[in-house]
Amino acid sequence: MPQTSKHSFSIGGIHPAPHKESSADPTLLPLPITATIMLSQHIGAPAVPCVCVGEHVERGQEIAHNASFISAGLHAPISGTVVSIGDIPHFNGKPARAMVIKASEDDHTADTMGREQYWSTLRLRRPDRDLSESVDAGDIRRLIAGAGIVGLGGATFPSHVKLTVSKAPEVLIINGCECEPYLMCDDALMQTFAEQVVEGTELMMKSASIPRTVIAIEDNKPAAAAAISAAIDNRHAITLEVLRTCYPQGGEKQLVEAVTGRRIPSGALPASVGAIVHNVATAFAVWQAVADGIPLIERIVTVSGDIPAGQRRDYIAAIGTPLSEFPFSLPEHAKVIVGGPMMGHAAVRLDAPVTKGTSGLTLLEGKARGPVQPCMRCGACLEACPMGLEPYLLASYGRLRRWDDAAANYVADCIECGSCSYSCPSCRPLLDYIRLAKQRSKKTRL
Ligand code: SF4
Ligand code: SF4
């Protein structure tokens, strides 16, 4: 049975309504005829195309190389012909470089048949328990890099870089918290492919000589916790910890504290306290790359929000699929958010594609927020902030363009969780100003 310690982090946090209705049955979204692959869909240098316009590519073929150590390669999510490489508008309306691949009818039919067969057999397949013993650490890291795997919890940091460590961390934390309201993709993944997640975890442990792992899941996902607990079986180096639900528990610093009791100092990484954090979907992608040689060309995406119940689903979607190809009816005065409502970003274009970091599409009725009122010094934003910051003060510095003062008050530590804006009874757009101050104070320092 799942271990239920019910720890959580110690500072701040909020409890927004969860709106989660996950199932263990993600739907295969049909492959697109035209796929658009953004060249920068990870932290680090954009990938450099290694195929030309007019060239025919096969599904899974590398189409862009790592541009540097901190970068990630890209692979064709569909077979077809490269029809363009150039700027296209991203979901926020800003131009970004992308490669467009168009499938012929034959390409599309062959890809669809192969893909359906792969996913239906995967649901029935027991992974090989000796896999991590049959590959060495360097090969695992090379396969992860070669598959273009990045952090799939939203950070999109290249995973092979994170696993290239000079000193082995004491503990790997696999993040299955999925604390954002509405998002259910990790829950669905853990329920459906728990054994692959656990095998992928063992591969990551081996790749960086990590002796121990904790898979952390919040207590509002009992089915996922039960599936992971069963999949761990008698592996003594891996334990499951069920955490008390609290937003933003999935933040690296909050999660490390909840699991180990150690606080990460300002400006430092989890490695400073002997920890490393990866998402459950990243563990699954690692397993796919090592066991099946499959690069990161698909991911699970949640579609949720103020839409009919039958349309709220998790989909296995190819990277590059236009957001408009998910079946949903837009609510009145719709607000479309790529990601969840707390940390996601508003979308102005639905012809933009799914990227490696697209965890969900949240479609909300555009309800008017209350009017912005003066700050009443209630302190709710201070109580909510999980980083121990003073959000009302940082927002004021952002509004007044006092970047140096914002920096001196640790604006760089803000994890942009939105807990402050959510808690403010005066409806002040705290996060908007804080984000601005964070960006501008970073530029000032460069
Ligand atoms: S968005 Fe930043 S300032 Fe606001 S609560 Fe989160 S960490 Fe604190
Ligand atoms: S929550 Fe809003 S009203 Fe209260 S102190 Fe913070 S900014 Fe002011």
Residue 240 gets which letter from DSSP?
A: E
Residue 402 CA to residue 383 CA, distance in Å, equals 24
Same-domain pairing of 174 and 221: yes
The yes-or-no verdict on residue 445 having pLDDT over 60 is no
Summarised one tens digit per residue, pLDDT across range 173-190 is 999 999 999 999 999 999
Summarised one tens digit per residue, pLDDT across range 91-128 is 988 999 999 999 999 999 999 999 999 999 999 888 88
Please list the alpha-helical segments (H only) found in 333-426. Answer: 380-384, 391-399, 403-408, 419-423
Q: Is the CB of 376 under 6 A from ligand 2?
A: yes
Counted domains in the chain: 2
pLDDT score recorded for residue 3: 53
- Terminal alpha carbon distance of the chain: 51
Nearest CA residue ID for atom 7, ligand 2: 392
Summarised one tens digit per residue, pLDDT across range 307-321 is 999 999 999 999 999
Among 423, 426, 433, name the best residue to mutate to test ligand 2's pocket (greatest count of ligand atoms within 8 A of Cβ): 426
Q: How many CB atoms lie within 10 A of CB 345?
A: 11
Same-domain pairing of 362 and 405: no
Q: Cα-Cα-Cα-Cα dihedral of 353, 292, 144, 303, to 10°?
A: 30
392 lies in some domain = yes
Q: What is the pTM of this model?
A: 0.95
The yes-or-no verdict on residue 63 having pLDDT over 60 is yes
Same-domain pairing of 321 and 180: yes
For the chain, the farthest-separated pair of C-alpha atoms sits apart, in whole angstroms, at 64
67 lies in some domain = no
Pocket-forming residues, ligand 1, beta carbon under 6 Å: 384-387, 389, 391, 394, 414-420, 431, 434
Same-domain pairing of 352 and 389: no
218 lies in some domain = yes
Same-domain pairing of 386 and 303: no
Among 416, 428, 433, name the best residue to mutate to test ligand 1's pocket (greatest count of ligand atoms within 8 A of Cβ): 416
418 lies in some domain = yes
Nearest CA residue ID for atom 3, ligand 1: 391
Same-domain pairing of 344 and 408: no
Angle, CA 278 vertex, CA 146 and CA 121 arms, to 5°:
65
pLDDT score recorded for residue 370: 80
Same-domain pairing of 293 and 318: yes
Boundary-marking domain end, from 346, 367, 388: 367
Residue 11 CA to residue 257 CA, distance in Å, equals 10
Nearest CA residue ID for atom 8, ligand 2: 375
Q: Tell me the ligand closest to 376's alpha carbon.
A: 2
168 lies in some domain = yes
Same-domain pairing of 276 and 409: no
Among 419, 432, 433, 438, name the best residue to mutate to test ligand 1's pocket (greatest count of ligand atoms within 8 A of Cβ): 419
54 lies in some domain = no
The yes-or-no verdict on residue 200 having pLDDT over 80 is yes
108 lies in some domain = no
Write out the residue range of the structural domain in which residue 395 sits: 380-445
- Non-local (6+) Cβ contacts of 208 within 8 A are 137, 163, 164, 165, 168, 169, 172, 276
Residue 132 CA to residue 9 CA, distance in Å, equals 32
Q: Band the pLDDT of 165: cuts 50, 70, 90.
A: confident
Same-domain pairing of 305 and 398: no
92 lies in some domain = no
The CATH number of whichever domain residue 147 belongs to comes to: 3.40.50.11540
Same-domain pairing of 353 and 388: no
- Which of 51, 81, 78, 55 is closest to 64 using CA atoms? 51
Same-domain pairing of 266 and 345: yes
- CA distances to 84, 117, 290, 300, 313 from 147, in Å: 23, 21, 9, 17, 27
Rounded (10°) angle between helices 185-192 and 280-292: 50
